[in-house]
Chain A
Amino acid sequence: MLFLHPYLLLGLTGIAIPVIIHLFNRRNAREIKWGAMRFLMDSLMSRRRSLLLEEMLLLAARCLIVGCAVLAMARPFVPAGSSFPWWLVLPLGLLGIVFFGMSFALGRYRRWQVLAWLACLLCLGLSAAAILLEKHLSLGRFTGGAARDVALVIDGSSSMTLEVNGESNFNRALKEAARLVEEAPRGVAFSVIVAGAVPDPLVPAPVTDRKYVQAALEQAIPVHGVLRAPDALAAAAASLAQGNQATKQIILIGDGQSVGWQTDDLESWRFLDEAFAHLPAKPRIFVRVLVLPQGIRNLTLKDVAFSRPVVGTDRDVRIDVTLANTGREAVTPARVVLRAGDSEKVDRSVGQMEPDSERVVSFMHRFDTPGAQVVEAQVVAEDELASDDIMRRVIQVMRTLKVLVVDDGRAVRLFDRAGGYVALGLMPSTKELLRDESKRGTAPERARFLMEPELTAVSGLGLKRTLTGYAVAVLADVPSLPAEQAAQLADFVRRGGSLLLIHGARADPAFFNNWQSEGEPVAPLALGACVTVPATNAQAAVRIAPDTFRHPALALFRESGDLADAVIECYRQALESNEVAGVVGRLQNGNAFLAERALGRGRVAQLFVPLDRTAGNLVVRHSFLPLIQELTAYLAQPVVATLNIPPSRGAVVQLSSPALTHLSGNGLYAEYFRKNDPKKILLTRVDPTLDFSWGTHAPAEGLPADHFSVRWSGSFVPRQSGTYTFTVRADDRINLKIGAYKVSTASFDQQQELRGTFTAGERYPLTALLTEDQGEAGVWVDMEGPGFPRARLPGDWLIPVRGAVDSWAEAVDTQVRAPGGRTLYAKIRSGEEGLALRTDSPLMQGLYEVAVPTAAAGWLGHLASTNDTFPICVTENPAESRLDALTPDEQAIILRQADITVARSFDDLRSALRGKTFGRELWRIPAFVLFVLLLLEAFLTRWICIQRKTGEEVGGAEHAPQKS
Chain B
Amino acid sequence: MRFLPPETLAKLGRCELSARGVVEGFISGRHKSPFKGFSVEFAEHRQYTPGDDLRNLDWRVLARKDRYFIKQYIDETNMRVTLLLDASGSMAYAGDEAAPRDGRPLSKLAYAQYIAAMLGYLLVNQQDAAGLVTFDTALRTYLPARARASQVRSILETLDQTEPGGETALAKIFHDIAERIPRRGMVVILSDLYDDPAALIQALHHFRYRRHEVLLFHIVAEEELTFPFESYTKFQDLECADNRLPIDPRTIRATYLTRMRAFLDEIEAACGRLKIDYVRMNTRVPYDQALAEYLSLRN
Which of A's residues lie within 8 Å of B, judged by CB?
25-26, 28-44, 46-47, 51, 54-55, 944, 947-948, 950-955, 958-964
Contacts and interface: CB of A to CB of B under 8 A. Distances in A.
B269 to A, nearest CB: 10
Contacts of A31: 233-234, 236
20 contacts: A26-B232, A29-B231, A32-B229, A32-B233, A32-B234, A35-B93, A35-B192, A37-B238, A37-B243, A39-B263, A44-B247, A51-B252, A948-B253, A951-B227, A954-B225, A955-B222, A958-B220, A962-B279, A963-B297, A964-B276
B285 interface: yes
Interface of B: 89-93, 108, 192, 194, 220-222, 224-227, 229, 231-240, 243, 245-248, 250-261, 263-264, 268, 271-272, 275-282, 284-285, 290, 293-294, 297
B253 A951 contact: yes
Contact of A35 (B91, B233, B255, B272): B91
A963 B227 CA distance: 25
A33 B224 contact: no
B168 to A, nearest CB: 9
A963 B91 CA distance: 24
Given A35-B192, A35-B224, A962-B268, A43 B246 contact: no
Contacts of B222: 955, 958
Contacts of B272: 962, 964
Given A26-B246, A955-B227, A947 B297 contact: no
B276 A952 contact: no
9 shortest A-B CB distances, which residue pairs? Answer: A955-B226, A35-B90, A951-B257, A35-B93, A43-B255, A951-B254, A959-B282, A954-B261, A43-B252
A34 B238 contact: yes
Contact of B279 (A30, A948, A961): A961
Given A951-B254, A961-B297, 17 more contacts: A30-B234, A31-B234, A34-B237, A35-B92, A35-B238, A37-B90, A39-B263, A44-B245, A46-B255, A54-B251, A951-B257, A954-B264, A955-B222, A955-B227, A959-B282, A963-B297, A964-B275
A33 B92 contact: yes
Contacts of A947: 253-254
B245 A959 contact: no
Contact of A964 (B259, B278, B282): B278
B233 A958 contact: no
B214 to A, nearest CB: 9
B245 A958 contact: no
B49 to A, nearest CB: 33
Contact of A36 (B90, B234, B243): B90
A32 B235 contact: yes
A950 B254 contact: yes
Given A32-B234, A33-B236, A44-B245, A959 B281 contact: yes
A30 B233 contact: yes
Contacts of A43: 252, 255-256, 259
Contacts of A51: 251-252
B293 A961 contact: yes
A570 B280 CA distance: 147
A33 B236 CA distance: 5
A952 B260 contact: no
B194 A40 contact: no
A29 B235 CA distance: 9
A34 B93 contact: yes
B221 to A, nearest CB: 8
A34, A43, A951, A961 interface centre (most CB from chain B within 10 Å)? A34
A51 B250 CA distance: 10
A782 B284 CA distance: 152
A55 B232 CA distance: 13
A30, A31, A47, A51 interface centre (most CB from chain B within 10 Å)? A30
A30 B244 CA distance: 12
Nearest to B268: A962
Nearest to A945: B250
Contacts of B280: 958-962
Nearest to A947: B254
A954 B254 CA distance: 10
Contacts of B246: 26, 29
A645 to B, nearest CB: 89
A314 B90 CA distance: 134
A944 B226 contact: no
B263 A40 contact: no
Contact of A37 (B239, B275, B279, B281): B239
Contacts of A26: 232, 246
Contact of A954 (B238, B248, B260): B260
Contacts of A961: 278-281, 293-294, 297
Nearest to B107: A35
B231 A25 contact: yes
A43 to B, nearest CB: 4
Contacts of A955: 222, 225-227, 257
A958 B229 contact: no
Nearest to A962: B278
Contact of B235 (A40, A46, A54): A40
A962 B266 CA distance: 13
A821 B149 CA distance: 140
Contacts of A30: 229, 231-234
Nearest to B195: A38
Contacts of A950: 254
Contacts of A44: 245, 247, 252
A964 B226 contact: no
Contact of B255 (A36, A38, A47, A54): A47
B231 A948 contact: no
Contact of A41 (B245, B260, B282, B293): B245
B194 A35 contact: yes
Nearest to B236: A33
B236 A32 contact: yes
A186 B20 CA distance: 106
A29 B254 contact: no
B169 to A, nearest CB: 13
A948 B260 contact: no
Contact of B233 (A29, A39, A42, A54): A29
B256 A35 contact: no
Contacts of A954: 225-226, 257-258, 260-261, 264
B252 A33 contact: no
B220 to A, nearest CB: 7
Nearest to A25: B232
Nearest to B247: A44
A953 B253 CA distance: 12
Contacts of A40: 235, 245, 247, 252, 256
Contacts of B247: 40, 44
Contacts of A38: 194
Contacts of A963: 277, 297
Nearest to B256: A43
Contact of B251 (A34, A37, A944, A959): A944
A39 B284 contact: no
A31, A38, A51, A947 interface centre (most CB from chain B within 10 Å)? A38
A35 B239 contact: yes
A599 B263 CA distance: 121
A36 B252 CA distance: 14
B258, B263, B297 interface centre (most CB from chain A within 10 Å)? B258
Given A33-B92, A964-B271, A39 B234 contact: no
A34 B236 contact: yes
A950 B254 CA distance: 7
A26 B234 CA distance: 9
